[in-house]
A and B are shown apart, each in its own frame.
Chain A
């Protein structure tokens, strides 16, 4: 952690997100900081991880010598299967998603709007190769969508905004955001701050947010 670190670091954001996952949940984790959530699920809580390329009961990365290039996650990283895991084809996997059987999905974000709109697949730049993967299916089908993200971009622009300027992944889908500065719920009145990171006050978060926040 650098001396200028204000609020939660990446590990602490993952730890905070893990606290909200109930025992017995079926969970899909996006690529990046969400992957770290696995490490922080509280003792005594059993969670089943789904990866959309066809595995329920995803385990940790394999020990050296135990790798199988045909046992990977959605990010194409080598993984393992826990005892009691199951494999299935893509249409069944997305039936779990689209059919509302997965309880929670934790994703990264480029922008989240105060009405819960999420943009996390494209900047809309015409020179970029568009690639969407399973993100639109996840936000349309999973019961609860949470986002872990830095509060502002590398250049300091707010990622929590009144209206997304990037192309949407889904409209009105996000229910909670865990940023480095706060835990924020999407409510019918807008973004509501439900918890501040240690040493961070409401005004500090408000200054770095693109729309009006509601204090708890």
Chain B
């Protein structure tokens, strides 16, 4: 019988190796799989390349992963937000690499990677510093920049409901990058608020089909990043 459930968040991240590329879902705290990120800190893998829209807040979640020197490179669109100082400090000291990607190009690079499309042309960033050094091609009278698909060794994402096949639905704007990251990663690890029986999710409304999911752990009452940041919590 197929059952993608694992026993703990620590089991879920146990195979993440030094130097791995890890996509982490979330737009700010919405959709951030904070328990999986904390388990990854406990696990100890380092020299990671992390793909996320941002760089985390305060000293928990993604910011804590960076603060604990596990991340060699960030690929993101917006590395500075309110309450985000861990990444900016390391970046100014030259201790972490940044690949800045426009948000839509980031999403499309991940989708392309997951869909087996090695590269695509987009008008986004034409004529700007972010297009420097990239191939530009004129198609039907308009210039486009060549961008490459992005894949990862692992994806860590958060869902509202999951079944044993890995079919997922999400909560509101917590969906954001999770469905495309699930497609683009070799191994996709999901923390779900609720685990349901196969058949309970209407096939018409499944957002991520189970084929894109490898491991599921239920975290029924996840920590809230904004509350931890307000309380000035530090992980670990």
Interface residues of A (CB under 8 A from B): 51-55, 68-72, 76, 81, 87-91, 93-94, 97-98, 117, 122, 124, 127, 129-137, 140-141, 167-171
Contacts and interface: CB of A to CB of B under 8 A. Distances in A.
Interface string B18-33: 0000000001111100
Contacts of B103: 52, 90, 94, 132-134, 137
B86 to A, nearest CB: 12
A6 B79 CA distance: 37
B71 to A, nearest CB: 15
Given A52-B104, A131-B77, A131-B80, A70 B128 contact: no
A54 B174 CA distance: 9
Interface stretch (B4-12, B40-48, B106-114): B106-114
Given A69-B30, A134-B104, A91 B110 contact: yes
Interface in B59-110: 77-82, 87-88, 91-92, 98, 100-108, 110
11 contacts: A52-B103, A70-B31, A89-B175, A90-B176, A91-B111, A124-B129, A133-B102, A136-B105, A137-B102, A170-B126, A171-B127
A97 B88 CA distance: 29
Contacts of A117: 127
Q: Interface on chain A toward B: helix, strand, loop, or mixed SS?
A: loop
A129 B80 contact: yes
Q: Give the size range of B's interface with the partner.
A: 35 or more
Interface in B151-186: 170-180
A122 B128 CA distance: 11
A117 B127 CA distance: 10
A52 B106 CA distance: 13
A136 B124 contact: yes
B123 A140 contact: yes
B173 to A, nearest CB: 5
Contact of A90 (B123, B127, B180): B180
A32 to B, nearest CB: 14
Given A94-B107, A133-B103, A136-B102, A81 B172 contact: yes
B27 A72 contact: yes
A137 B102 CA distance: 7
Contact of A132 (B77, B107, B126, B226): B77
Contact of A136 (B53, B128, B207): B128
A69 B226 contact: yes
A124 B128 CA distance: 11
Contacts of A167: 128-129
Given A94-B107, A98-B108, 8 more contacts: A52-B103, A72-B28, A72-B173, A89-B107, A89-B180, A90-B27, A94-B104, A132-B102
B202 to A, nearest CB: 16
A168 B108 contact: no
A137 B173 contact: no
A98 B81 CA distance: 24
Given A98-B122, A131-B77, A169-B128, A87 B91 contact: no
A136 B106 CA distance: 12
Contact of B130 (A72, A87, A136): A136
B211 interface: no
B224 interface: yes
Contacts of B224: 69
A156 to B, nearest CB: 27
A124 B129 CA distance: 10
Contact of B171 (A51, A53, A70, A134): A70
